[in-house]
């Protein structure tokens, strides 16, 4: 456990309905929808928030330093604010940022806002632009890659193919219970396996959508949390793990930032059996092949045990280890918000008011992960009870 | 802050119009190496540097996730962590301090970079800060916004172009003492008034030059800071604040956000009269009119009296409160980095390492950064050496 100077609680959660088209509103209005909801959820007055944390991916919408314009809708006028961006992990990083800012004693109530209005730009162009202009840009395909799928297929054969499709079907089932999710589709394993190939064996239905959405979360000191009416969800720990920039094409499957993050976080927090001790996991799953591989990494499986678990239905909302009851990233993906939605959904499950996609049991500890950059991981641990100081 | 935080090492590049022979990483690497050598630290979480904070911007780098290529330099090669602050450099320092004060990290490295030469920073990058419905069609960018603010300020308080030209003259004079400065040639008021108009009433020599450069810094909690350096520079006050967005919604001749940011920092540092209680200030002056205007926002003078204070020579090097002995941003540093360059200059001053530009006996300093159109956002840091409390 890292030393924490003081406890930090999640005291409010707000999200837009994540949708593919929101021509009816502009970016500021999108952000303000989430902010209005977090204010209503936490019952805090805007004047009691002393700091706003803001993040997205600038080149997706083509607005430079959008926090300046967003003052009109995010409540930052006359307040302190930080703009933090780390690619796909941005949302998870925003939660870490808010945790730091409150735990440091610098601020009492910090509002973290992740957002993206992807219909304003061309996402794959935006992502391709992250590769080194001299060495990698010509071969970049954004996030559309079949490499992990090929590896899983080579190692585990057809069962992996079936499991990757099955986990997508499960995500769709969960998303249909979550009215905020973007894709609430009714699909079968056959639909997934017959959908268009993007990069074999990655198919269209394996892949996350481009969504418009925002998520705002309020983080408060213990003293403030006592004052606010929502049941607090406590920040226990978080870790950020990166790796070297350039992709190592020979060894791409072992870019084990997820595994490293899990190992350190579990060791610091006394987690010896994540399957038993963690009540729910909101995992950043940009595509179902990655999801299938990454469950194994986070749960420290070595022989693809997750494949059978998927086919057994163990990851369902009422299963042994509920995974992404919200429907996950393959159902909603407003990139700058995507990772903070994981944290928000994990917190909702602990609070017990996630709505139709609430897991039918008490959740004491929840995990939320973010993924982005050149295989970066942010992993957060939230709890129903205060962490030991 | 629940833990004391100090800057224990800082390095900057020279600032140049075009470092075309260096990529971002090449520009930064020597700084990182020097900071590591000076402190003897390595990238070993728990026993060395725990975390990296970078400062850059996707638009300035024309690269999505502009911190991607910088990770290797701040130790993320083997499972290290990194986060990017995408606004003025002073915010990266403030955020690094938050990570340490929270107890999560003990030692954090900060790396800031920008190469304005690779993009049309003045007219294309900052143009995109303006929202696409009303103001972008007008061709607005930060220099246009500065022009409007300059007009507003000068008209309100009767300040003339001739008076403001002296701000540039002094900056160049101070910059001559700064080996990192870009604009160091002696200039006269006549040169300023004869230079070409960029955005009326602002002329080329009224405005900061487009610049490339980088800064690296290491911050640590108290115990480790003491073990690692003889001369830690403590962060004793911090503050930042947003003003409203549309220029028409603000009184452009005054700055609410600067006052709020500065007084948050002063309050934490126990300062009630900044003019008396600071030994020097390094402030981000992008255009000459901001020198008197920021004085007013920072509480150095009454509203409308900033120019008078400048002309009284009290803010000259050797005066009561030297401002920008380095020459400041008018002598060159990338727009995005100004706050962290100012912080680095204060750090050098408080360690007595500012060489020819040293303010004698400096114990407490103010570093200021700004972002957004016409100073919409401001950040302020109060820094002190071990003598800071004994003034």
A–B CB contacts, 8 A cutoff, strictly below: 208
Rounded to whole angstroms, what are the CA distances from B49 to A92, B40, B110, B189, B218?
Answer: 22, 10, 11, 48, 9
Chain A nearest-CA residue for B221: A104
Mean pLDDT of B17-27: 95
Tokens, residue A128: 């391709």
Chain B nearest-CA residue for A124: B64
> Which chain B residues contact residue A101 at CB under 8 A?
98, 102
Question: Across the interface, which of A6, A62, A133 has its CB nearest the CB of B2?
Answer: A6
Taking a contact as any Cβ pair under 8 Å apart, which residues of chain B between 348 and 377 contact chain A? 371-373, 376-377
Chain B nearest-CA residue for A132: B69
CA–CA min distance A188, chain B (Å):
36
B264 close contact with A: CB closer than 8 A = yes
CB contact under 8 A, B243 and A78: yes
CB contact under 8 A, A2 and B103: yes
Q: What is the pLDDT of residue A41?
A: 98
Torsion of CA A185, A189, A194, A199, to 10 degrees: 90
Radius of gyration (Cα) for chain A, nearest Å?
19
N-term to C-term CA, chain A: 9
Query: d(Cα A340, Cα A88) in Å, to the nearest integer?
Result: 10
Q: What is the pLDDT of residue A137?
A: 81
Residue of B71, B102, B112, B247 to mutate, interface with A, max A Cβ within 10 Å: B102
From the candidate CATH numbers 3.90.870.10, 3.40.47.10, 3.30.43.10, 3.30.565.10, the one assigned to the domain spanning A140-208+236-383: 3.40.47.10
CB contact under 8 A, A81 and B69: no
Beta bridge partners of A382: A235, A366
Tens-place pLDDT, residues B331-375: 999 999 999 999 999 999 999 999 999 999 999 999 999 999 999
Tens-place pLDDT, residues B90-118: 999 999 999 999 999 999 999 999 999 99
Q: What is the pLDDT of residue A1?
A: 44
N-term to C-term CA, chain B: 22
Tens-place pLDDT, residues B6-20: 999 999 999 999 999
- Does some domain include residue B235? no
CATH class of A8-123+211-227: alpha beta
CB contact under 8 A, B86 and A127: no
Question: Across the interface, which of B2, B82, B83 has its CB nearest the CB of A105?
Answer: B2
Residue of A52, A59, A99, A372 to mutate, interface with B, max B Cβ within 10 Å: A59
Chain A nearest-CA residue for B260: A78
Q: What is the pLDDT of residue A60?
A: 93
B248 close contact with A: CB closer than 8 A = no
- Does some domain include residue B386? no
Is this complex scored with an ipTM above 0.90?
yes
- Does some domain include residue B60? yes
CB contact under 8 A, B62 and A3: no
Those residues with Cβ within 8 angstroms of residue A100's Cβ, 6 or more apart along the chain or in another chain = B95, B98, B99, B102, B104
Q: Tell me the average pLDDT of chain A.
A: 94
DSSP B124: I
Chain A nearest-CA residue for B244: A77
Chain B nearest-CA residue for A105: B1
> Of A135-149, A208-222, B11-25, B213-227, where does mean pLDDT reach its minimum?
A135-149
DSSP B388: G
Query: d(Cα A375, Cα B261) in Å, to the nearest integer?
Result: 37
Mean pLDDT of B221-233: 97
For residue A69, what pLDDT band results from cuts at 50, 70 and 90? very high
For residue A130, what pLDDT band results from cuts at 50, 70 and 90? confident
Of all residues in chain A, the percent with pLDDT exceeding 70 is: 97
CA–CA min distance A78, chain B (Å):
5
CB contact under 8 A, A83 and B86: yes
Taking a contact as any Cβ pair under 8 Å apart, which residues of chain B between 66 and 125 contact chain A? 67-69, 71-72, 76-87, 91, 94-95, 97-104, 125
Q: Give yes or no on whether A8-123+211-227 and A140-208+236-383 have one common fold.
A: yes
Q: Give the number of domains in chain B.
A: 1
- Does some domain include residue B288? no
- Does some domain include residue B86? yes
Mean pLDDT of B284-290: 98
Domain hosting residue B39, numbered range:
5-119+211-228
Question: Across the interface, which of A59, A78, A105 has its CB nearest the CB of B58?
Answer: A59
B43 close contact with A: CB closer than 8 A = no
Chain A nearest-CA residue for B69: A245
> Which chain B residues contact residue A72 at CB under 8 A?
244-246
Question: Across the interface, which of B86, B103, B131 has its CB nearest the CB of A5?
Answer: B103
For residues B239 and B380, the answer to whether their CB atoms sit within 8 Å is: yes
Query: d(Cα B23, Cα B298) in Å, to the nearest integer?
Result: 37
b/e map B306-343, b = 16+ CB within 10 Å: bbbbbeeebbbbeeebbbbbbbbbbbbbbbbbbbbbbb
Report the Cα B113 to chain-centroid distance in Å. Answer: 13
CB contact under 8 A, B80 and A242: yes
CA–CA min distance A320, chain B (Å):
31
> Which chain B residues contact residue A71 at CB under 8 A?
242-245, 376
For residues B334 and B114, the answer to whether their CB atoms sit within 8 Å is: yes
> Which chain B residues contact residue A83 at CB under 8 A?
85-87, 91
Query: d(Cα A316, Cα B63) in Å, to the nearest integer?
Result: 39
CA–CA min distance B305, chain A (Å):
24
User: Do the bridges between strand B107-115 and strand B51-55 make them parallel or antiparallel, or are there none, so unpaired?
Assistant: parallel
Mean pLDDT of A267-280: 97
Question: Across the interface, which of A26, A59, A71 has its CB nearest the CB of B133?
Answer: A26
User: Do the bridges between strand A212-221 and strand A8-15 make them parallel or antiparallel, or are there none, so unpaired?
Assistant: antiparallel
The CATH number given to whatever domain includes residue B74 is 3.40.47.10
Residue of A25, A86, A107 to mutate, interface with B, max B Cβ within 10 Å: A86
Tens-place pLDDT, residues A297-345: 999 999 999 999 999 999 999 999 999 999 999 999 999 999 999 999 9
For residues A93 and A240, the answer to whether their CB atoms sit within 8 Å is: yes
Tokens, residue B276: 């008396």
Chain B nearest-CA residue for A137: B63
Of all residues in chain B, the percent with pLDDT exceeding 70 is: 99
CA–CA min distance B91, chain A (Å):
7
Q: What is the pLDDT of residue A243?
A: 85
Phi then psi for A148, rounded to 5 degrees?
A: -65, -35
Residue of A8, A28, A56, A69 to mutate, interface with B, max B Cβ within 10 Å: A69
Chain A nearest-CA residue for B66: A130
Residue of A25, A54, A68 to mutate, interface with B, max B Cβ within 10 Å: A68
CA–CA min distance A13, chain B (Å):
23
Mean pLDDT of B47-59: 95
Domain ranges of chain A: 8-123+211-227, 140-208+236-383
CA–CA min distance A15, chain B (Å):
23
Report the 10 Å Cβ neighbour count for B8. 25
Among A138-152, A325-339, B116-130, the range with the most confident prediction by mean pLDDT is: A325-339
Q: Would you list the DSSP string of A58-118?
A: HHHHT-SSHHHHHHHHHS-BTSEEEEB--GGGHHHHHHHHHHHHHHTTS-SEEEEEEEEEG
CB contact under 8 A, B242 and A71: yes
> If residue B382 lies in a helix (H) or strand (E), which one and from where to where?
strand B377-384
**Which residue, chain included where needed, has tokens 């220029």?**
B247
Q: What is the pLDDT of residue B4?
A: 97
Mean pLDDT of A180-188: 98
pLDDT at B174 over 70: yes
Higher pLDDT pick, B41 / B46: B41
Chain A nearest-CA residue for B378: A80
- Does some domain include residue B238? no
> Which chain A residues contact residue B69 at CB under 8 A?
132, 245
């Amino acid at each position: 456990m890292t030393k924490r100077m003081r406890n930090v609680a999640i005291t409010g959660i707000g999200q837009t309905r994540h949708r593919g088209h929101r021509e009816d509103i502009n970016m500021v209005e999108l952000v303000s929808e989430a902010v209005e909801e977090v204010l209503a959820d936490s019952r805090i007055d805007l004047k009691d928030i002393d700091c706003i944390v803001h993040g997205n991916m600038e080149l997706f919408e083509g607005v430079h330093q959008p926090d300046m314009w967003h003052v009109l809708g995010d409540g930052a006028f006359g307040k302190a604010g930080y703009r933090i961006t780390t690619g796909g992990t941005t949302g998870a990083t925003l939660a870490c940022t808010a945790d730091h800012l409150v735990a440091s004693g610098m601020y009492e109530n910090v509002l973290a806002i992740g957002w993206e209005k992807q219909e304003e730009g061309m996402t794959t162009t935006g992502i391709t632009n992250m590769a080194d202009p001299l060495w990698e840009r010509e071969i970049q395909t954004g996030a559309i890659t079949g490499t992990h799928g090929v590896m899983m297929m080579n190692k585990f054969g057809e069962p992996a193919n079936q499991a990757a499709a099955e986990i997508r079907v499960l995500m769709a089932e969960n998303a249909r219970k979550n009215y905020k999710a973007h894709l609430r589709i009714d699909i079968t394993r056959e639909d997934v396996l017959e959908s268009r190939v993007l990069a074999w064996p990655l198919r269209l239905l394996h892949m996350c959508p481009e969504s418009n959405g925002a998520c705002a979360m309020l983080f408060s000191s213990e003293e403030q949390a006592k004052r606010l009416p929502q049941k607090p969800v406590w920040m226990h720990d978080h870790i950020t793990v990166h790796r070297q920039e350039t992709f190592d094409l020979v060894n791409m499957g072992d870019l084990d930032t997820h595994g490293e993050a899990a190992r350190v976080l579990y060791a610091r927090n006394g987690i010896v059996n994540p399957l038993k001790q963690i009540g729910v996991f909101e995992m950043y799953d940009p595509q179902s092949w990655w999801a299938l591989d990454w469950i194994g990494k986070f749960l420290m499986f070595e022989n693809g045990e997750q494949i059978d678990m998927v086919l057994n239905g163990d990851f369902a909302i009422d299963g042994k280890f509920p995974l992404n009851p919200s429907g996950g990233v393959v159902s909603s993906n407003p990139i700058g918000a995507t990772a903070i939605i994981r944290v928000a959904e994990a917190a909702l499950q602990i609070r017990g008011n996630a709505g139709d996609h609430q897991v039918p049991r008490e959740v004491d500890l929840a995990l939320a992960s973010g993924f982005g950059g050149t295989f970066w991981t942010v992993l957060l641990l939230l709890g129903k009870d205060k962490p030991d100081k | 802050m629940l833990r004391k935080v100090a800057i224990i090492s800082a390095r900057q590049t020279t600032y140049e119009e075009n470092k075309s022979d260096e990529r971002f990483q090449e520009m930064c690497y020597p700084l990182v190496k020097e900071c590591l050598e000076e402190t003897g630290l390595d990238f070993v979480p728990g026993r060395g540097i725990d975390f990296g904070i970078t400062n850059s911007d996707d638009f300035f780098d024309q690269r999505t996730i502009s911190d991607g290529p910088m990770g290797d330099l701040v130790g993320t090669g083997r499972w290290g962590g990194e986060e990017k602050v995408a606004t003025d450099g002073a915010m990266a320092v403030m955020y690094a301090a938050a990570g340490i004060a929270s107890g999560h990290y003990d030692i954090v490295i900060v790396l800031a970079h920008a190469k304005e030469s690779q993009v049309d920073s003045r007219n294309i990058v900052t143009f995109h800060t303006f929202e696409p419905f009303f103001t972008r069609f007008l061709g607005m960018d930060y220099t246009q916004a500065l022009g409007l603010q300059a007009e507003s300020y000068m008209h309100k308080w009767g300040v003339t172009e001739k008076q403001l030209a002296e701000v540039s003259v002094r900056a160049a004079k101070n910059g001559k003492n700064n080996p990192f400065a870009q604009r160091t040639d002696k200039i006269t008021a006549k040169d300023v008034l004869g230079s070409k108009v960029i955005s009326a009433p602002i002329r080329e020599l009224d405005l900061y030059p487009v610049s490339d450069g980088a800064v690296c810094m290491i911050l640590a909690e108290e115990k480790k800071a003491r073990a690692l350096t003889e001369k830690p520079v403590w962060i004793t006050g911090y503050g930042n604040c947003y003003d409203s967005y549309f220029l028409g919604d603000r009184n452009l001749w005054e700055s609410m956000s600067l006052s709020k940011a500065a007084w948050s920092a002063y309050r934490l540092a126990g300062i009630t009269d900044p003019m008396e209680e600071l030994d020097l200030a390094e402030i981000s002056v992008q255009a000459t009119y901001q020198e008197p205007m920021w004085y007013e926002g920072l509480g150095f003078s009454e509203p409308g009296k900033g120019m008078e204070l400048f002309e009284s020579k009290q803010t000259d090097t050797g005066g009561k409160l030297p401002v920008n002995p380095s020459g400041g941003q008018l002598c060159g540093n990338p727009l995005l980095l100004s706050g962290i360059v100012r912080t680095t200059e204060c750090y050098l001053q408080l360690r007595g390492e500012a060489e020819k530009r040293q303010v004698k006996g400096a114990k407490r300093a103010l570093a200021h950064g700004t972002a957004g159109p016409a100073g919409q956002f401001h950040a302020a840091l109060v820094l002190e050496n071990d003598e800071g409390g004994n003034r």
